[in-house]
Amino acid sequence: MNIILFTDTEINQPIQRSDRRFKHIRRILKASSGDHLKAGIINGKIGTIEIKAITSQKLDFEFTPVS
């Protein structure tokens, strides 16, 4: 099972095209806008991200931690 990991400072920032997570989400997981993926903060909470928008340069998402 895949889990997309973020640091505390990355969790609210778009994923840029140069980031390996961008490539993994697009090429391996073949995710698109509206999809939900398992995600977590390193040494922190686990939850999901919802992909809000994907362009050729970045991926916008919203993280929701599991209570």
Banded pLDDT at 12 (limits 50, 70, 90): confident
Q: Which two tokens stand for residue 13?
A: 């920032």
| pLDDT (tens digit per residue) in 26-64 | 999 999 999 999 999 999 999 999 999 999 999 999 999
How far apart are the C-alpha atoms of 11 and 58, rounded to whole Å?
A: 14
Query: CB of 25 within 8 A of CB of 15?
Result: yes
Residue 2: its pLDDT value, please?
82
